[in-house]
Amino acid sequence: MTTGRRRAILFATCIVDQLYPTVGLAAAELLEQQGIDVDVPSDLLCCGQMAFNAGFRDDAYAVAGRTLEVLRGKGDVVMPSGSCAAMIRHLYHELFAHTPFAGMAAELAHRTYELSEYLVDGLGVTDVGARFNGRITYHDACHGLRFLGVGKQARALLSRVQGAEVVPLPGCDQCCGFGGLFAIKQHTISTAMLDRKIEAIASTEADLVVTGDVSCMTQIAGGLSRRNIPTRARHLAEVLANMVDAR
C-alpha cells in the first residue's frame, strides 16, 4: 500500500453501479472517513468475470484487458465485492497467462483489495462509528471467503456496530446458490441451494442478513422477498456507513 495522503480507486463493479448505487456511495464514504482520496474512473466498468465463468475466455480477455488498461499505473484498487476482487487476484493470472498482459495482471493483483479486507488489514480499523439497532447475521460469500480469506474482517467490523446484536448464521459458509449464469442455467439447483440458505436465515430471526457481495445479496434478497420473510439483505458497506434504516 502507498503511504502519505492515501488515494484509492473504488472499483464499484457493474452490478453495484447499476443495481446498488448506495453500496458504492457507502464504500466511498467509509474510505473517505479514513482519510482516503477516492477516485472512481468513469470508464471503469467490469472485471470480466461473467464471461470468464461461462467459459468465454476471448470475451473475458476483451473485458478484463480493457479494465487492466484503465487501472494501469493507478494506486490501490478497492472493491465492495469479494467475487470480483477474487477474479482479479486469483483468475486474471490464468486468463492473461502467456499474453502481453501477464505482467500487468500480476501487478494489479497485488494492489487489489476487497473492502473489508482493506479497512481491517490495510488500514487497521474496525470501529467505523456505525450504529444499527437490531439483529444482524452474516453470510460468508464464497469467493471472498475461499479465495481471499475474507470473513473475519467483516465480523470484526460488525462486532463494533453499536446497538447491533450479531447472531451466527447456521451454515454461514454454505453457498447461496448464485454462481453467476449458474443461477439461470441451472436455476432449479440454484434455488434448491437458496431454499436452504433462506431457511437458515429465517431461523435467526435477524433484521438484516449482511454479506460482502452484491451478487449473493441479489440472490438472497430475491429469495427472502418472494417468500415474504421480513429479514432484509444488505451489503456490509451499507451497514457500516449507516445507510440502512432501522425500520
Partner 1 sequence: MPQTIAFYDRVDHALHDSSLQTALHRATSRFIGNRASAISALGDADRLRDQARAIRAHALAHLDELLPQLAANVEARGGHVCWASDGEEARQYIIELAHARGVRSIVKSKSMASEEIHLNEALEAAGFEVIETDLGEYIIQLAGETPSHIIAPAIHKTREQVSELFQQHLGMPPTTEVPLMIRTARQALRQRFLQADMGISGVNFGVADSGAIVIVENEGNARLSTTVPRIHVAIMGIERIVARLADLGVMLQVLARSATGQKLSVYTSLISGPARPGEEDGPEEFHLVLLDNGRSQILGGQYAESLLCIRCGACLNACPVYQAIGGHAYGSVYSGPIGAILTPLLQPDLPDAHLLPQASSLCGACQEVCPVRIAIPDMLLRHRADAVKAGKVNPVEKVAIAGYTLTMTHPAIYNAGGKAGRFFSRILARKGHFRRLPPPLHLWTKQRDFPALPPKSFRELWAERKNQRRSSS
Which residues of the shown chain bind partner 1 in the complex (CB under 8 A)? 12, 14, 16-25, 28, 40, 42-43, 45-46, 48, 50-57, 59, 62-63, 66, 91, 94, 142-143, 145-147, 173-175, 177-194, 196, 218-219, 221-223, 225-226
Nearest residue (CB) to partner 1, 32 versus 126: 32
Nearest to partner 1 of 17, 107 (CB atom): 17
Task: Report CA 214 to chain centroid distance, whole Å.
Answer: 6
Question: What's the closest the beta carbon of residue 210 comes to partner 1, in angstroms?
Answer: 16
We find the least distance from the C-beta atom of residue 162 to partner 1, in angstroms, to be 26
Q: Which is nearer to partner 1, 48 or 122 (CB)?
A: 48
Q: How far is the CB of 19 from partner 1 (least distance, A)?
A: 6
CA distances from 89 to 16, 75, 82, 101, 224 (A): 19, 15, 10, 14, 31
| CB closer to partner 1 out of 32 and 107 | 32
Question: Which phi-psi region, left, alpha or beta, contains residue 3 (left: φ > 0; alpha: ψ -120 to 50)?
Answer: beta
Distance in Å, CB of 109 to partner 1, minimum: 15
For partner 1, give the closer residue by CB, 145 or 154. Answer: 145
Please report how close the Cβ of residue 42 comes to partner 1 at its closest, in angstroms: 6
Residue written as grid cell 467490523: 157
Chain mean position to CA 103: 25
Give exposure, 174-210, as e/b (b: 16+ Cβ within 10 Å): ebbbbbeebbeeeeeebbebbeebbebbeebebbbbb
Please count the CA atoms within 13 angstroms of the CA of 130 that sit on its side-chain side: 29
**C-alpha cell of residue 8:** 484509492
